[in-house]
Amino acid sequence: MIVAVAIASLAIAARAEARGFQLGPKFAISAPTGDFGDALVPGIDAGITVNFMEKPTAGVGVDLCYHRWSASQDANASVDAFLSSLSGTTITGSKGTVTAFQTTLHVKLMPPVSGPIVPWVQVGMGAYRVNRILELPEAQLRAAGWEVQYRAGDDVTYELGYVGDIGFDTDTRMRFGLDASYHFLPEQTLRTNVTAFTIGVHMLFGSR
């Protein structure tokens, strides 16, 4: 998927003639935090970012990213224990996952400095499609006399979220950089705040 995004970024950026247009892939390790992170382990954050730098020091853009976190061993084991207590037999193999597709608008600010490295800050907000998935060991449950009617992946909600980023880019036509982000989705239809800290790398193609 990352290779496909990179190829698409190069193709689009090569045709972009507008001054200040930048587009490229990004990849990060994502660590859920707070109550949201109690039952999850670090996962991934991958996607693309687009910037329209109207000035050398300021611009706007869009981020399209996919986040994925797996449930911890303890969380999966607690589901197994609950099912075992209900069925009267040992049940193992439950697996939880949370995914989120991020579509956010952002404002990017860069100080008026020159040099090989250019720092920046970015703030954004937008929609997150959150999907809570629980895969159950259906064969074991049927053997215990249960008819499994739950379909994994049906628990989808749409949440308003906010994201703040800091990072730096190399001052070259093909920009490389590091960035750190904090995502905050205040409690809405979900019963907890969704929060995650990410740190990763990115590339930007297009005008400087």
Domain residue spans of the chain: 2-206
Q: Which of 199, 165, 197, 207 is nearest to 24 (CA)?
A: 207
Beta carbons of 105 and 126 less than 8 angstroms apart: yes
CA separation for the pair 115, 74 (Å, rounded)? 48
pLDDT surpasses 60 at 127: yes
pLDDT of 165 reads: 96
Q: What are phi and psi of 12, to 5 degrees?
A: -70, -45
Q: Is the CA virtual torsion 68, 74, 77, 79 positive or negative?
A: negative
Per-residue CA distances from 151 to 67, 73, 134, 137, 207 (Å) = 21, 21, 8, 12, 46
pLDDT of 148 reads: 66
Q: CATH classification of 2-206, choosing from 3.30.950.10, 2.40.160.20, 1.20.810.10, 2.40.50.180?
A: 2.40.160.20
Instruction: Give the predicted TM-score (pTM) of the model.
Output: 0.83
pLDDT of 188 reads: 76
Q: What are phi and psi of 9, to 5 degrees?
A: -60, -45
Q: Residues 53-101: pLDDT tens digits? A: 888 889 999 999 999 999 999 999 998 898 888 878 888 888 999 999 9
